[in-house]
Structures are given as C-alpha cells and as structure tokens.
Amino acid sequence: MNMTMQKCAPSGGPSRTPMTVAFLAALVVLLLPAPAAASQARDLERLRRADAAWSYLDSDFSAEYHIVQDVPGRGRSTTVAAVFRRDRQDIYTIVILEPEADRGQGYLKQGDTLWIYDPVGARFNVTSSRERFQNTNARNSDFTQSTLAEDYRIVGVTPTQLGRHAAYLYDLESDRDGVTFPIMRAWITDDGRILKTEDFSRSGQLMRTTAIPDYQQVAGRLIPQRIFIIDALEGAMIDGRFVNERTIITVTRPSFQPVPNSVFSKSFLERIRR
C-alpha cells in the first residue's frame, strides 16, 4: 500500500485508476455508517415510543390495578390497588383497597424515596423500589414511568415475530446504578408497544418474564390492559415439575384526569385509614 502510494504520487498519469478506486472505496467506507446510524436512531426512537406508552409526562394518571398472584401449591390471592401517578414529578401514590386485611396500606413515592404506610401501626417506613409489591412478582418500580431508552444501551435489534405480532427484539444492557436488571430483552412493535420483556441478572440468569398481550386506547393513548409476570426463580415443584410463581395485573378504570395535589402526600394515606 505504501509502495503504491510512493509510486503514484509523483507521476499522476498511469496511477489515476487505482487512486480513483481508492477514493471511491474511502467514500463508501465513509458513507456506510449512515444507514447504520439511521437504523440505530430508529431503534432508539422505537424504544423511546415504548417508554412513552408507559410514561405519562403530560398529565396525571390514575387507574385501578387488579393483581392476581398465583403461588403454586398455595393458590391465588387478589390485591386491588388504586394507583395515582404524576410522572412529570416522579411521584406516585398507591392505596390498597383489597384484600380487607391489607386495606388502607399505601405507598408514596417522591423522587428516590418510597414510603410504605402501615395503617395498623399508623407508621411510614422507607422501602425500596426494588422490593416486591405486596409480596407479588411485581416490583414497586413497575408502577412508575419507563426509562428504558435512558437506562439501557441497545446491544442489538432483530426483527422477529412474537405470536401474530411483528416485533423487534431488543437486547439491552445497563451499567447504570439503580437499574435492577442489568440485562434485558424486549419485544417491541414498531408503534412502540412492549409485548414482552425478559429480565436477567448481571451473570445472565433469567429473573423474570413479563408479557403484555393487551393494550387499551384511552384518550388517544395506548396503555397496557393486562400484564403477566412470571418469576423465573420463585415457584414450587409440583409432581416433579417446576411451576413458576406468576402474577397477572389487569388495569381498569384508567384516567388521565388531573389528580389533586393532596393525593400525593402522607396525610392522604393517613386520612384514607380514618
């Protein structure tokens, strides 16, 4: 290569063809990343759309969540919770309506702090967003806005088919502090609906699978209607076969109407008890 250059440079005549080839090759190399960059931008944009379907930054959000927890060998239990979110301020309030024994328990998230309120002792305790929600397979962090595009870097995107849906399989990784699952796979449709996710530990152990088969249209927005969560580690051996613990969340009565400021306060949870 160096020899060719030394030969070509002084004369210019006979070596014009190789120079042109080299120039064109360089041009191709320079232009090649453009489609790749465009593709990456589209992948990122799709991920942002997926976040937007789970985040309500321009209005408050409230809904009733019916959470059915199925523990193999121990049967099912149902929890009904009223969820109030104000994602633009990163706050939420959750009040447990059922079962009767837990009625009045509440959660109040204000930024990085999450309080859990116990009406029996009339006490607030700090808990973590990584903790299980009411001993189900949902985590407290599942009730807040989605920040996949912010938290994860895209390692790969593969067009795929999930059931009858055309989707893109995202391989995501994160080194960010506070991101519970450092490895994630997400099946996302082109319009930004997350159909399924698999959460992995840092060592690549599958921790849980989440499927969102149904979305509902509310005020022109798509919001999840049913969410299935399957815990990969928790479960029981039934007849010699491992049966996973699972949780089904059904979102009913969704609303984007403004929620009074007072709802996002400790006194609200205390008043609910009375």
Partner 1 sequence: MAALFQIAMRSLRRHLRRYLFVLVVLALGFAFISVMSALAAGMARSAENAALRHYAGHLFVIGRDKQAGSIMVVDHPRQVTDAIARSGLPVQRLLTRTHAFDRSSLFFHGASVRLKDLFGVDFADEAFLFSGFDYIEGGFDPGWDRETVVISEPVARRLRARVGDQIVLRVQTRGGQLDTRTLVVRAITADSSIFGFARAYMHRETLTNLMELAPAQWSVAGIFLPSVHDAPSWARRLEAELAGELPTAGPIETKDALTSAIRERWQGVRYFSVSLPVYVSEVTDLLAAMELASWLLLVMIMLVVLAATVVTYRVVLHDRAREIGTMLAVGFPRPWVVAALAAEAAILVGIAVTAGLLIAAGISQAASLLSFDWIPGFEIFLEEGRLRAWYRPATVLRNAAVVLGVVGTVLCVMVVSTVHRTIPALIKGETT
Binding residue for partner 1, selected from 88, 202, 253, 271, defined by CB under 8 A: 202
- Compute the least distance from the CB of residue 82 to partner 1, in Å: 28
Binding residue for partner 1, selected from 82, 207, 218, 222, defined by CB under 8 A: 207
- Check residue 113 for interaction with partner 1 (CB under 8 A): no
Two structure tokens written together for 46: 């799709």
Binding residue for partner 1, selected from 152, 235, 246, 251, defined by CB under 8 A: 235
- Compute the least distance from the CB of residue 241 to partner 1, in Å: 10
Q: Give a three-class secondary structure readout of the chain.
A: CHHHHHHHHHHCCCCHHHHHHHHHHHHHHHHCHHHHHHHHHHHHHHHHHHHHHHCCCCCCEEEEEEEEEEECCCEEEEEEEEEEEEHHHCEEEEEEEECHHHCCCEEEEECCEEEEEECCCCEEEEECCCCEHHHCCCEHHHHCCCCHHHHCEEEEEEEEEECCEEEEEEEEECCCCCCCCCEEEEEECCCCCEEEEEEECCCCCEEEEEEEEEEEEECCEEEEEEEEEEEEEEEEEECCEEEEEEEEEEEEEEECCCCCHHHHCHHHHHHHHC
Binding residue for partner 1, selected from 236, 252, 258, 262, defined by CB under 8 A: 236
Number of neighbours of residue 186 by Cβ within 10 angstroms:
23
Q: Of 62 and 174, which has the nearer Cβ to partner 1?
A: 174
Q: Of residues 131-190, which lie at the interface with partner 1 (CB under 8 A)? A: 174-182
Binding residue for partner 1, selected from 27, 120, 237, 252, defined by CB under 8 A: 237
From residue 12, alpha-carbon distances to 3, 24, 26, 61 in Å are 14, 17, 19, 71
Q: Which stretch binds partner 1 (CB under 8 A): 26-34, 44-52, 188-196, 236-244?
A: 236-244
Q: Which stretch binds partner 1 (CB under 8 A): 46-54, 92-100, 142-150, 201-209?
A: 201-209
- Check residue 234 for interaction with partner 1 (CB under 8 A): yes
Q: Of 71 and 272, which has the nearer Cβ to partner 1?
A: 71
Two structure tokens written together for 188: 């996302």
Q: Of residues 243-262, which lie at the interface with partner 1 (CB under 8 A)? A: 243-245
Q: Of 113 and 160, which has the nearer Cβ to partner 1?
A: 113
Q: Of 154 and 207, which has the nearer Cβ to partner 1?
A: 207
- Check residue 239 for interaction with partner 1 (CB under 8 A): no
- Compute the least distance from the CB of residue 199 to partner 1, in Å: 8
Binding residues for partner 1, rule: CB under 8 A, are: 72, 128, 130, 174-182, 201-203, 205, 207, 233-237, 242-245
